[in-house]
Structures are given as structure tokens and as C-alpha cells.
Amino acid sequence: MNHFKVTIGLFIPCYIDQFYPQVGIATLELLEKLGLDVGYPLLQTCCGQPMANSGCEKKAVKVYQKFVKNFSSFDYVVSPSGSCVYHVREHYNILEQTEQVKKVRQSTFELCEFLLDILKVDDLQIHFPHKVGIHQSCHGLRGLKIGTGSELVTKKQSKIHSLLAKAEGLEIVELDREDECCGFGGIFSIFHPDVSVKMGKDRVADHERHWAEYITATDMSCLMHLEGIIRRQNRPVKVKHIAEILNTARR
């Protein structure tokens, strides 16, 4: 299985590390199944996005530098979070652009992107016999362009849909609003809680209207927010990170 003599640095964002270890495990196992040489730098913390999105990017510089230091020795950095990857690629522009910084920014990938664009996997032989609603996390969708935003008049593509297309038993449900934001938005969820929760409720309702058993996404942060609402309101629908679904792969 080892097509690639490359090293992969696994970046597990702070909130996944602390609250959703199963997502990190699924990502790691999947990459290992694909025969890749995966390393996990134990001293990693966060990409620095929470500070930066609050307007404090200068305070985040140390965190950025730490990230670069932890990951600069790998050929690729892979993470189950579109938002953090987008942050590293887009917003590490305030660091001095050393070779190391440039390399890390260019070689950091969101999991689905990495599977499709770098590994070029075709059929992962996923087995997940459920109705699944896809939540297109905004930073992955419009930032990393892992899908086509519904606003654009270009050829439609969606990496999540492509990866799940051949999955056994899995049915993707159509939504009324295919890519509306869930309202998490990092600090937005704390400083604008009412709008944030309302947006989340509306998203959950859309998935439920179409009988989704699971809501999946490239970002656990969106799912953490949606799950918080689902549990508060005792809704039947569940959340599952895309890595967990992909990790049902047989190969």
C-alpha cells in the first residue's frame, strides 16, 4: 500500500484533542490504513485562530511560530479541520516568510483535500449504511474550495461528496440550503450567542427535514456547536466527523 515515501505530520486541533479524541484517532487510523508514515508531534497545541479571529493576531504570533516549528520537518501536514488549515495557509502571512514558514503553509492540507488531491484515492470502500446530511463547513468550502459555493456560477464539485460517492449503503440527503453557515464562527459563537444558536437550530432543522440520521462535516467545531444544540433540544439526529465515516474504509 505504500505508494508514498513521504512523511505526514498529523495536526490535531486543540478542541479535537481535548474533546473529540475519536476524530483524531479516526484520522490517524485512516492515514495508517493507506500505508502512510504518520507522525504526531506531541508538543503541538493550536493554529492560533481563536486569537486572530478576535482581532488579536499579533498575540497569536508565538502560537504560529510554535506550529511552524512542530511541523516543518514533514513533507505534508494533514488535519481533520478545514478551518485550521485555512488559517495556517491564509493568515500565517504575518510571519516572516522564511523557507520553513512557506513550506508549512504550502504543505498543510485538510484531510479530504489530501486524500483526493495528493493521494488521489478513488474508492475507499467505505461502509456506512445511514442517511447522511453534509454540512459544508464555510472555511473548507469557500476558503479551501473543497467544494463549490452555491453563490458561484462555476462547475459544481464537492470533495466530500466525491469521497462518499461510492460508499456502501450511505445515502446523502439533499438539503434546502446546501451550504448555509451553521453559526459557529469561533468567537462569534460566544460574543453573538443568540444569532449563533439560531443559525445552528435552523441548520439542524434542515437536516432533520430531510431525514438525516447523521450530520457530517470537515470541521468538528461546526459539529460541536450543532451537537450542543441537538443535545440541548433532545433531537434525534447525530453528528459524526467526516474522518470517522471515512475510517470505516476497508483498505
**Which residues between 157 and 176 bind another protein (CB under 8 A)?**
none
Establish if 72 lies at the interface with another protein (CB under 8 A): no
Establish if 150 lies at the interface with another protein (CB under 8 A): yes
Member of 93, 122, 127, 152 binding another protein (CB under 8 A): 152
Member of 28, 116, 170, 172 binding another protein (CB under 8 A): 28
Establish if 185 lies at the interface with another protein (CB under 8 A): yes
Shorter beta-carbon distance to another protein: residue 48 or 167 = 48
Member of 3, 166, 198, 209 binding another protein (CB under 8 A): 198
Establish if 17 lies at the interface with another protein (CB under 8 A): yes
Shorter beta-carbon distance to another protein: residue 94 or 165 = 94
Establish if 2 lies at the interface with another protein (CB under 8 A): no
Question: Applying CB under 8 A, which part among 24-32, 109-117, 118-126, 164-172 lies near another protein?
Answer: 24-32
Question: Applying CB under 8 A, which part among 121-129, 160-168, 211-219, 222-230 lies near another protein?
Answer: 222-230
3-state SS, one letter per residue, for the chain: CCCCCCEEEECCCHHHHHHCHHHHHHHHHHHHHCCCEEECCCCCCCCCHHHHHCCCHHHHHHHHHHHHHHHCCCCEEEECCHHHHHHHHHHHHHCCCCHHHHHHHHHEEEHHHHHHHHCCCCCCCCECCCEEEEECCHHHHHHCCCECCCCCCCCCCEHHHHHHCCCECCEEECCCCCCCCCCCCCCHHHHCHHHHHHHHHHHHHHHHHCCCCEEEECCHHHHHHHHHHHHHCCCCCEEEEHHHHHCCCCC
Least gap, CB of 179 to another protein (angstroms):
8
Question: Applying CB under 8 A, which part among 35-43, 101-109, 160-168, 211-219 lies near another protein?
Answer: 35-43
Which is it for the CA torsion 101, 107, 110, 113, positive or negative?
A: positive
Establish if 62 lies at the interface with another protein (CB under 8 A): yes
Question: Applying CB under 8 A, which part among 13-21, 95-103, 111-119, 158-166 lies near another protein?
Answer: 13-21
Partners of 157 in beta bridges: none
Least gap, CB of 177 to another protein (angstroms):
7
Establish if 93 lies at the interface with another protein (CB under 8 A): no
